[in-house]
Structure 1
């Protein structure tokens, strides 16, 4: 028997919960389904030392402030508990342990099938699966010897995840930088492979969070369609400078972009090589929307990514939320997803695309 709902949100992370909150304010019926066992597991199951680069003052969803020192930086377990508390406080309708395997448009309705053979029927689907979907690792990693311990950041938990010997971290985003600092402080010999020279912003300037300054200066208001927004997107900085003294004193050695491998050796763009004992692939994630079957053309581009305007697609009733730079810099962050959720809630309930 089909479970019928007006709107189904796929994903109960911050984007899905913010979306549910906005729909509930409008008394619009909905259901959120999620593959995890618990609310917050998308954060709770990540590496132990993960810390947000936004302070608590900029890490809250609409309607509920995160408790604690507003100037402090929450860790991943604190955020997981906050999301769980958020769902409980607003009694958002969530079904867990429901991993979606397909979404198919049939006439004017969507049929959602989950891996436990359940089916859901709805008029609107809001995809809130977030930026962490399928771990991406360069294909050349397959040429490496089994003697090298390889982990993606999704599987790394703490230094005990590694075997004895040096560590090569491939990728210079915030996660790669945080893990490099943790391992260097644990007296590991750390190499960091970077595709380009990173730009660093401090956590604070003159006692105020960098995000406070960015908000005051209006930087967080620039949209993806603006010239300044495009420039910021192409040069997104690393938040925090803790790694810099470790690089200067040689505890972390930076290398060029990793380009190939063979046996026990990794090769880099400047023709150098390294024989590491461990590799952590901090190479991010890729999106996979192959499970969404649409009736309209051009819903996805040639790279398989959604064609949308502020999360609204050409397929009637199909929306996305929580995408990186969906509309502004904060679209995939707690501090910005609420605004996108409010906009999409207006569209679902008959608003105009403005």
Structure 2
């Protein structure tokens, strides 16, 4: 075991963990960041090739370092991966790669963080930044076990190359579902299946990206603004590309199917259709299992709102604002977490 006792250990080296590291460094606290990957920081490198941010580069920066590009540039996956690497290198954060955290226990006021490689690290506090987009959620649907086609989650999708001329159903009504379905529709027959009709919201209003208005009006930085945005958060930001594609049937959209059969699915109108592939873009489940021994998670694995422990979280949707769990909102979430953490040290 490393005999040093840190002020804080950050678990997870993605955008939220790096933002937390920035504020810990600014506060002159001793810390390390544990990242399970040997090569990359966070989950971005594992997403599909064409993934594009819905916030322009000018509104997608972590604290202290501007994201290259302007208000009309929407960064793609590889640009985000490179930016995170540059960010970590710029501030020279103490990052320990290849350290997947499997358990945290506590004796007195000191937490011991255990990793899969057998390392142990002591700390007075923890920031959990292990991500809301790691453990894929695939709902149970009747007949799924008997389906002979391919079932995968959006987490495992990369590009359209292996899906040419196949019959594909993409399940979900969010950003990833629409991006993947529109991409695949260039080479295959694709349908988006969702429980509710897909809603679109304008990405650009009066010539400005919506993130300009959110910023200048401070809508996601006030309590009333947060409530307003929560009520209207349904929908996909779109410049018109995705809605036009669906209106043209490339892909088409239908209500969620009822069940699987051996060779396909059964739609709500009781019609059967043969299908080759079903891709679930149905979100993720919490990734805090390593904290389960501290009795600070509810039965669903979600952190309890009230806890005496000096353990804090970043990267959780709607944590402090509409932008929480996105690269744009990581800085605000991290600043609040570090401020609260320091008060308890």
Decide: shared fold, TM above 0.5.
yes
Q: Structure 1 residues 261, 315: closer, same or farther in 2, change over 3 A?
A: farther
Unpaired stretches in structure 2, ≥5 consecutive residues: none
Correspondences of 1:1-354 after superposition (within 5 Å)? 1-4=1-4, 5-40=6-41, 42-140=43-141, 142-146=144-148, 148-162=149-163, 164-184=165-185, 186-223=186-223, 227-232=227-232, 235-240=233-238, 241-295=240-294, 299-308=296-305, 313-350=306-343
Aligned residues: 342
> How far apart, CA to CA, are the structure 2 residues paired with 1:53 and 1:302?
33
Per the normalisation by structure 2, the TM-score is: 0.92
1:23-45 deviation digits (Å, cap 9, x = unpaired): 10010111100111234351122
The answer (yes or no) to whether the contact 1:170–1:258 under 8 Å persists in 2 is: no
Q: Structure 1 residues 230, 205: closer, same or farther in 2, change over 3 A?
A: closer
1:228-285 deviation digits (Å, cap 9, x = unpaired): 25413xx432111322222222222211123422312223445444321111111111
3-state SS of paired residue (2:53)? coil
Q: Bigger CA drift: 216-225 or 46-55?
A: 216-225
Q: Bigger CA drift: 166-175 or 197-206?
A: 197-206
Q: Structure 1 residues 268, 113: closer, same or farther in 2, change over 3 A?
A: farther
Q: Bigger CA drift: 256-265 or 62-71?
A: 256-265
In the TM superposition, residue 87 of structure 1 has moved relative to its aligned partner by 0.4
In the TM superposition, residue 149 of structure 1 has moved relative to its aligned partner by 2.0
Q: Structure 1 residues 224, 40: closer, same or farther in 2, change over 3 A?
A: farther
Per the normalisation by structure 1, the TM-score is: 0.90
RMSD over aligned Cα, in angstroms? 2.2
1:150-181 deviation digits (Å, cap 9, x = unpaired): 22111111112336421110112101101111
Instruction: Provide runs of 4+ in structure 1 moved above 6 Å.
Output: none
